[in-house]
Amino acid sequence: MITNQILLLLMLSILWPSAAALPFTPGNIGNLFGMPESDGRILQRSKRGWMWNQFFLLEEYTGNDHQYVGKLHSNMDRGDGNVKYVLTGDGAGTLFLIDEKSGDIHATKRLDREEKAMYTLHAKVLDRNTNAELEPDTEFNIKIHDINDNAPKFAKDIYFASVPEMSEVGTSVVTVTATDADDQTYGNSAKLVYSILQGQPYFSVDSENGTIKTALSGMDREVKENYQVVIQAKDMAGQMGGLSGTTTVSITLSDVNDSPPRFANHSFRVTAVESAEIGGAIGRIKADDPDDGRNAEMEYSIVGGHDTFNIITDQMTQEGIIVIKKALDYESKRDYEFRVEVKNTYLDARFIHGLQFKDYATVKVTVEDVDESPVFTRNPYIIEVHEDTAAGSFVGVVSARDPDADNKYSIDRHTDLERLFNIDSMNGTITTLKALDREMSKWHNISVVATEINNPRQTTRVPVFIKVLDVNDNAPEFAMSYDTFVCESIKAGELIQTISAVDTDEPLVGHKFVFSISASNPNFSIEDRDDNTANILTRRGGFSRREMSMYFLPVVISDNDYPIQSSTSTLIVRVCACDSQGKMQSCNPEVLPFSDGLTTGALVAILLCVIILLMIVVLFAALRRQRKKEPLIISKEDVRDNVVSYNDEGGGEEDTQAFDIGTLRNPEVMDANKLRRDIIPEMLFPFRRTSPIKDNTDVRDFITGRLQENDSDPTAPPYDSLATYAYEGSGSLAESLSSLESGATEGDQDYDYLSNWGPQFKKLAEMYIGKNSGLSS
């Protein structure tokens, strides 16, 4: 092949004579090649003569680094070197260089049309000596001609698509499109052709637009679900030498309902225990459907229904769950058999012709026996019995059924603490052990336990509610305690009290009480109001406390039930002095009625007395437990020493932090050699007394040292003890005042020196100098 460079040189050598004759003609090389102008014009007229306004340059030129673009020539150029050509515009000086003398234009590097397709430049002709413009500047273009240097590219490396299974041939799957950066308007560099490299014979591709279509009918997802298709896009219209790019398309066959459900085994056997609860599952069956998603959804049902079993569908596992509708009984029926149907819930009309999208299977259920607990015929039992029934009387019967074995009965004594009832262990007959009283308890709630004889762990209990029926065995009595009085000035026939009665019995027709008193009573009479109340009236007037301060009126109260019960209650009537309006003023205190019980005030008083007594006892005990603290100083007078205490140390002493040395006065705490009482030390540590620290060391440092010494002493007792420190401090002008270290007696001391110590010791000097003078005289 002849390269573009050779072709360029060949054409230039043939046409150069005519080209050289053209005046200032930029672009004449391109015109010599016969390349069309971009705007359709070939030549344009100017005062400089004829010129070309456009150059053409192939992109990605493979020749030398500096590519020759064209030549500029002006009529003012006589060839004597006085003319200078200057180039400005896009890329001038960088991408494009011009020979100042000859006007030749070169490209400095390879140009890419895809980066920029055209450059606009300006050419000037100057006088080399004066730099004056010999002609106006001229604009021209350098257009980059495209070459096929870009391969087609797809937007994605991998595409994903799906198409329904069993699709007809030619069904569109997906369209993949490639792009080519080359010039779409020039040549075939960007004209693409699509082809399929992998995926036949299942798929094909449209060579012009890249649409992938099915090429094979009857593709079954259940046989093969995923396909990898490789598509190629080639430029140059698919001719030899063109560039190409590829992409992969992953195609998945989506499911359609083309497969009916089928039982792998058309007979199932299930075992259930007779104690299984109603609604509980006893087994699962499953049909197979190779479809996916909703196309594989199934529904199970029992053909014709069943009164003991039902089947429901598990939507998660697509299984049929067999459940119990009615309690099973091994002793009644042990085997069941029914037919189950399964079918798809969603059907595709394209595939239902000629296929049965349902299947059938037979299910056999075997009931297993279990050791059951006894079952009572009723739950609970409600039994009625009259009160006052004699012990050993019949109350009722409970019965429990157990098909496995016989039962025995018992009463849970936690529910019959008074042991009022008994039960026959064999037949469940309940009788009384004691007479029942409805007024004490109207209901008795007991639990009866039925236990299997062969297996005592199998028990069942049932509540038995025994209602005690009423018998008229209680007489009526006053409803309350009455405080009745009569005024001395009362007249005959006046009302002094209204009474009522109560009866603990409950007759069916209600209470009806009859009140009466002795007809021979000269003081009071009774009037029955027919509403279970009665009025007490006076028969005479002129009652007197002096004659009789209290009257006892017996009142007979009877009921109307059978047998009739009656009682006599005594009404106490006090005679009191009253005002003109009949209000009680005073009564004889001796006749005040005694209460059957203590009043609230009396109870409160008794409670307060008890509380006060308890407080006195607690206080006395607390006082007894108090102990007096043992004084630190037993006596202020010590026969061994007589130290005068004063609380004025004097303003001039350096020992301003002296501590209380009163502890030195207690002989009981001076026993520093006392050892521990709980142990015997292996070796005895002698008592050590550290001498006072010199150089005016502060008392606190001395005490701290002694504290550490005592804390680390292994002979110290384990309980709290008093440690004494015989150190008063250092730095006093008077030195030590203690006579413990003095060799002379008090009478031998001369205290005149105290007057020389200063005003701080004036009082001390007066005391001791005066005392010394008295002794000497």
Q: How confident is the model over 294-313, as a mean pLDDT?
A: 92
Structure token pair of residue 65: 């680094």
SS (H, E, C) 372-399: CCCEECCCCEEEEEECCCCCCCEEEECC
Residue 16 predicted with pLDDT over 70: no
User: Over 60: is that where the pLDDT of 629 sits?
Assistant: no
The most confident of the ranges 29-33, 445-449, 600-604, 723-727 is 445-449
Span of 294-308, 386-400, 467-481, 640-654 with lowest mean pLDDT: 640-654
Higher-pLDDT residue of 744, 220: 220
* Region of poorest pLDDT, from 97-101, 169-173, 410-414: 97-101
Tell me how far apart the 2 most distant CA atoms of the chain are, in Å. 183
Confidence at 58, pLDDT banded by 50, 70, 90: low
Q: Which has more pLDDT, 180 or 205?
A: 205
DSSP letter at 691 equals P
Minimum mean pLDDT range among 334-338, 394-398, 556-560 = 556-560
Mean pLDDT along residues 249-273: 91
Beta strand 319-324 with 281-286: parallel, antiparallel or unpaired? antiparallel
**The pair of three-digit structure tokens given for residue 771, joined into one six-digit string:** 């005392």
Lowest mean pLDDT: which of 186-200, 238-252, 624-638, 700-714? 624-638
The torsion defined by the Cα of 609, 610, 616 and 621, in degrees rounded to 10, comes to 170
> Is residue 635's pLDDT more than 60?
no
Is the alpha carbon torsion for 714, 716, 720, 726 positive or negative? Answer: negative
Q: What percent of the chain shows pLDDT beyond 70?
A: 74
Number of residues that this document lists for the chain: 777
Average pLDDT over residues 631-656: 49
Residue 15 has pLDDT above 50, yes or no: no
* C-alpha 703: how far from chain center: 62
Query: How large is the average pLDDT for residues 69-90?
Result: 83
Indicate whether 519 pLDDT > 70: yes
Q: What is the rounded CA–CA span in Å between residue 708 and residue 267? A: 97
Instruction: Provide mean pLDDT across the span 306-313.
Output: 94
pLDDT of residue 627: 54
pLDDT value at residue 737: 58
CB 234 within 8 A of CB 193: yes
699 and 729 in contact (C-beta within 8 Å)? yes
State the pLDDT at residue 771: 60
Indicate if the pLDDT at residue 17 is higher than 80.
no
Torsion of CA 427, 428, 433, 438, to 10 degrees: -140
What is the three-class DSSP state of 705? helix
Question: Residue 548 contacts by C-beta under 8 Å, 6 or more apart in sequence?
Answer: 575
At 507 the pLDDT is 74
- Position 263 confidence tier, pLDDT thresholds 50, 70, 90: very high
The answer, yes or no, to whether the previous bond of 380 is cis (omega within 30 of 0) is yes
Q: Give the model confidence (pLDDT) of 471-486 as tens digits.
A: 877 788 888 888 888 8
Contact 133, 125 (CB under 8 A): yes
CA atoms within 13 A on the CB side of 201: 4
Res. 539 pLDDT band, cuts 50 70 90 = confident
Q: Are 727 and 693 in contact (CB under 8 A)?
A: no
Residue-level pLDDT at 91: 80
| CA dist., res. 295 & res. 344, Å (int) | 7
In 156-243, the DSSP E strands lie at 158-164, 172-175, 178-179, 193-198, 203-205, 211-214, 226-234
User: What distance lies between CA 303 and its chain's CA centroid?
Assistant: 48
Reported as a single tens digit per residue, the pLDDT across 187-212 is 787 889 999 999 999 999 999 999 99
**Domains (ranges, CATH) in the chain?**
54-145 (2.60.40.60), 153-254 (2.60.40.60), 262-368 (2.60.40.60), 375-469 (2.60.40.60), 477-586 (2.60.40.60)
Q: Give the residue among 216, 214, 211, 225 at the shortest CA–CA distance from 253.
A: 225
Distance CA(190)–CA(563), nearest Å, equals 127
Q: pLDDT-derived band of residue 294, with 50, 70 and 90 as boundaries? A: confident
Q: What's the confidence (pLDDT) of residue 31? A: 32
- For residue 65, the model assigns a pLDDT of 63
Q: What is the pLDDT of residue 650?
A: 53
DSSP classification of residue 111:
-
Q: Which of 24-38, 401-415, 655-669, 711-725 is the least confident region?
A: 24-38
What pLDDT is recorded for position 203?
94
Cα separation, 399 vs 405, in Å, equals: 14
pLDDT value of position 214:
93
Average pLDDT over residues 98-108: 83
Distances (CA, A) of 560 to 60, 455, 468, 514, 664: 135, 56, 21, 8, 102
Banded pLDDT at 603 (limits 50, 70, 90): confident
pLDDT at 680: 43
Cβ count near 236 (within 10 Å): 20
Predicted confidence band of residue 599 (pLDDT cuts 50, 70, 90): low
- Looking at mean pLDDT, say which of 86-100, 339-353, 486-500, 651-665 comes out highest: 486-500
Q: Compute the distance between CA of residue 272 and CA of residue 313 in angstroms, rounded to an integer.
A: 19
**pLDDT more than 90, % of the chain:** 24
Provide the token pair at 727.
Answer: 């150190």
- 477 forms beta bridges with 502
- The reported pLDDT for the residue numbered 745 is 47
Least confident of 369-378, 400-409, 486-495, 748-757: 748-757
Residue 227 has pLDDT above 60, yes or no: yes
Q: Are 121 and 96 in contact (CB under 8 A)?
A: yes
pLDDT band for position 761 (50/70/90)? confident
Tell me what the pLDDT averaged over the chain comes to.
77
Query: In this predicted structure, which of 64-78, 403-417, 689-703 has the lowest mean pLDDT?
Result: 689-703
* 3-class secondary structure, 711: helix
Spell out a b/e string for 241-253, using b for 16 or more CB atoms within 10 Å of the CB, else e: ebbbbbbbbebeb
State the CB neighbour count (10 A cutoff) for residue 570: 9
- What distance in Å separates the CA atoms of residue 57 and residue 119, rounded to the nearest whole number? 11
pLDDT of residue 454: 82
387-441: per-residue pLDDT in tens?
Answer: 888 888 899 999 998 877 788 999 999 999 989 999 998 999 999 998 888 878 8
More confident residue, 192 or 634: 192
Q: How far is it, in rounded angstroms, from Cα 428 to Cα 407?
A: 10
- The closest alpha carbon to 672, from 662, 680, 659, 663, belongs to 663
Q: Which of 218, 181, 203 is nearest to 248 (CA)?
A: 203
Query: Which of 78, 84, 92, 91 lies closest to 23 in space, CA to CA?
Result: 78
pLDDT band at 723 (very low <50, low <70, confident <90, very high): low
Q: What is the pLDDT of residue 527?
A: 87
Query: Residues 342, 298: contact at Cβ < 8 Å?
Result: yes
Is it the case that residue 687 has pLDDT exceeding 60? no
pLDDT at 401: 84
Tokens matching residue 378: 């009723």
DSSP 324-379: ESS---TTT--EEEEEEEEEESS--TTT-TT---EEEEEEEEEEEP--PPPEESSS
* More confident site: 557 or 405: 557
Confidence of residue 359 (pLDDT cuts 50, 70, 90): very high
Residue with tokens 């056999």: 364
The answer, yes or no, to whether the previous bond of 686 is cis (omega within 30 of 0) is: no
